[in-house]
Structure 1
């Protein structure tokens, strides 16, 4: 009697959709860049306020 394959559950799953993964990654990078811009602008305003 052969042992059950511990990786069978993973083998039966479809392969990772690399294209969709890359698309999500790109969207994430864009979102992060936008956030960084917002934070940067807020800091600049804060610095300008303190100078006045």
Structure 2
């Protein structure tokens, strides 16, 4: 992870990924929520840590 990303920001990005997983999870599919959520959280933190939002 880039050193310029604060720990609190990474936690926030992870929580956004978890919220997205909760909103989009389909229990009808044959995948565990844990597996789905982990992939969403990793994707969320990776995307935002490589391109953090700029202050305006």
Q: Same fold (TM over 0.5)?
A: no
Larger Rg: 1
The one of the two structures with greater contact order (alpha-carbon pairs below 8 A, sep at least 6) is 2
Between Structure 1 and Structure 2, the one with more helix by share is 1
